[in-house]
Amino acid sequence: MKKLLLFLALSALLTDTAFGQSMSLKFDGPVPPADSTQRGNRRGLLRRKAARTVPVAPVAAPVPTAVIPSVTDSVAATVAMPPVVAPAPVALNSSYLQGVVTVPLDPDVYRLIDRYAIKYGSDSLGDLQTAVRPYARAAVARLAERMLADAANLSVQDRFNAEYLLRDNWNYSTQATALNQSQRPVLKHFYQRQTDLYSLSTPDFTLRVNPVLGLAAGKDSETDGLRFLNTRGLQVEGVIDQRLGFYTFLADNQMAVPLYAQQRIRRDAIVPHEGYWKDFKTIGGSQYDFFSARGYITYAATKHINVQLGHDRNVIGNGYRSLILSDYSAPYFFLKLNTRIWKLNYQNLFTEMTVERTRDAAGSPMDTVYQKKYLNVHHLSYDVTPNFNVGVYEAIVFARRSGHYELQYLNPIIFYRAIEQQIGSGDNAILGLDFKWNIRQRVQLYGQLVLDEFVLSQIRSGNGWWANKQAFQLGGKYVDVAGIRNLDVQAEFNYIRPYTYEHEDQYTNFQHYQQPLAHPMGANLYEMLGIVSYQPVARLQLTAKAFYTVQGLDRPNATDPSVLNYGGNVLLSYNSRVSEFGNTVGQGNQSQLLHTDFTASYQPRQNVFLDAKLIMRRQSFTDSPTQNTVFPTVALRWNIVQRLHEF
């Protein structure tokens, strides 16, 4: 079986000359039947289709000849279609505006989508709602169709990107039929469409099956030996009866990390972004073994309401970082209700999370059921205008030692802080605001405000009270800078007070599986980041990122094994704080970090990426020597995102 899959993969990569190529078909004649048997089969098929009651958008049938202009060449060439073609996909019912499958979270793909949401999108009903992620495939397909409708004003790169998005979301667009047709399917049944190893489309059932491969190798200047990533897996996605969507992702991973990532793993006893893990080859070394599993099912309860049950991540906000809810932590179990109606998008998120990985007195992981905690979130987003959106957010983090769930927190339209007070609990309530403003289809301003604790008199006093726990973000995006097509920039400022996200213990602090749920570095910091992305040719993306972060780290305690808590590590209890007043951002062992990342990513085939990356870091400390890191890597990715350690 492994040999067969390897043969299929290599055949798709090496023999399909049109794989990932831009195509648009011009029909020049009817489809002649091959023989009388096929004509009889076709008449029977038409009779069966006519008996169906499900409304299906009309699609063009495959034809034997086509004119296929390349996105990089205006000269069209007439080619003969192969005898084996994929069946025309059935467009899923557009009456379910949100769709039931989503685009997997990927910073590179989402940066592309956000660019075109600024240029062509709005917050109108049925379009992308960028304040909450992941995005629905249906909305991304509509955005790509809107782009292609403006083909006369698209650059070569923009047209390539529009066709890429349309192919990747083909089950929500009839326009993707020609674009996604594979010239040379493998063994007749595989890679009939460029995007999928195996795919199926009928009025009642859509299925997509794809391999997952991530191979990377690099050299860290601070450690010996090869740093590597080896990921192999599978993802499956589909829709049943146009109302029930499903997705699953499975991958086995082995990884050796650079020193700065290893230091975070040792401090928190976690592998970033993952849950259960174990050492690979050497106990206590820098190599780790873990299995990744994500998945969900989504039901379109009505035209405007989706219900999703899953084990994955969610994001709230338009920034590169999120101070409300980010995708940094391990996946978690959740029930999500998303209501998109009129000018409103209302999302309820009910989650079950893991307190920590239980260990024995010797520090070894125990074979036991880990303790649970819960995070419930309400986020209401309102489109003030088609280009200006504001949102309000509230969350409650809680646990009950008796193991029961606080049923009152299941109310989807209640104010959590009031309920928390009414039941006399010491749960962790957090409030927040966010906004987004698109200006003249070129600029986007966005921001967030988080209130973990708020006492106005203490803020006005300026005495640095420890419970002044607030955070804010302000950022902007500018596309086609100075008229240079496909040159985009993003700048962002994040400010987080000491002890923000901390609480009495690990049962109520803002973390899951010993990883922050918001900013990956925790709190007690301010950060400036900038991103420049440029697409000089259709298949090549150049990205430069720079992070400058000032953060106050904890210091060792001279009297016991604990640390002096200066408010930067959200895993600690605020009861161990060093001072009641006089707290300032950056207090403690102050770290000044400059992290830069330069990446060139080439896409030879649909969702196949060749990456060359150079990470350079300089981190100085008040109490310890400066660390300088140079970390070059090369990678091959197939249907998987980059694994990033940006902390």
Mean pLDDT of 146-174: 95
Evaluated on CA atoms 192, 194, 197, 199, the torsion sign reads negative
Which pTM was predicted? 0.85
Residue 94 pLDDT level (bands cut at 50, 70, 90): low
For residue 308, which amino acid is it? Q
262 pLDDT more than 90? yes
Higher-confidence residue: 246 or 462?
246
For the stretch 16-51, pLDDT in tens is: 433 333 333 333 333 333 344 444 444 443 344 344
Residue spans per domain, the chain = 107-638
Considering only 29-38, 166-175, 425-434, which range has the smallest mean pLDDT?
Answer: 29-38
The pLDDT, as a whole number, for residue 90 is 55
Handedness of CA 422, 428, 431, 436 (dihedral sign): negative
Q: What pLDDT does 33 receive?
A: 38
Asked which of 254-263, 299-308, 311-320, 416-425 is least confident by mean pLDDT, the reply is 416-425
| Tens digit of each residue's pLDDT (9 = 90 or more) over 571-587 | 999 999 999 999 999 99
Does residue 297 register a pLDDT over 90? Answer: yes
CA dihedral 259, 262, 264, 266 (to 10 degrees): -130
In the prediction, which pLDDT does 92 show?
Answer: 60
Instruction: Give residue-wise pLDDT tens across range 196-212.
Output: 999 999 999 999 999 99
Percent of the chain residues past pLDDT 90, beyond the cut: 73
Q: What is the pLDDT of residue 282?
A: 84
Q: Tell whether the model's pLDDT for residue 59 goes beyond 60.
A: no
pLDDT at 284 over 50: yes
What does the pLDDT read at residue 96? 61
Percent of the chain, pLDDT > 70? 84
Provide the residue count of the chain: 647
Confidence of residue 217 (pLDDT cuts 50, 70, 90): very high
For the domain made up of 107-638, the CATH class stated in words is: mainly beta
How far CA 400 is from CA of 146, 348, 488, 619, in Å, comes to 50, 21, 47, 40
pLDDT, tens only, 99-142: 899 999 999 999 999 999 999 987 677 788 999 999 999 999 99
Cis omega (within 30 of 0) for bond into 498: no
Unique residue bearing structure tokens 């338009």: 318
Among 4-8, 93-97, 508-512, the minimum mean pLDDT is found in 4-8
Of 55 and 565, which is predicted with more confidence? 565
Question: What stretch of H or E contains 156?
Answer: helix 156-168
- pLDDT for the residue numbered 53: 41
Sequence-ordered strand ranges (E) for 355-387: 372-385
Q: Grade residue 283 by pLDDT with cuts at 50, 70 and 90.
A: confident
Bridge partners of 67, per DSSP, are 78
More confident residue, 93 or 468: 468
* Predicted confidence (pLDDT) at residue 221 exceeds the cutoff of 70: yes
pLDDT tens per residue, range 367-395: 888 999 999 999 999 999 999 999 999 99
Cis bond upstream, residue 89 (ω within 30): no
Query: For residue 357, what pLDDT is reported?
Result: 87
To the nearest whole number, what is the mean pLDDT of the chain?
Answer: 87
Amino acid at 254: Q
Residue 95 has pLDDT above 50, yes or no: yes
**Single-letter code of the amino acid located at 300:** A
For the segment 334-375, what is each residue's pLDDT rounded down to a tens digit? 999 999 999 999 999 999 999 998 877 666 677 888 999 999
Averaged pLDDT for residues 487-499: 98
Summarised one tens digit per residue, pLDDT across range 526-557 is 999 999 999 999 999 999 999 999 999 999 98
Q: How many CB atoms lie within 10 A of CB 92?
A: 25
Once rounded to an integer, what is the mean pLDDT over residues 291-303?
97
Q: Which of 475, 469, 471 is nearest to 447 (CA)?
A: 475
User: Where residue 88 falls among pLDDT bands split at 50, 70, 90?
Assistant: low
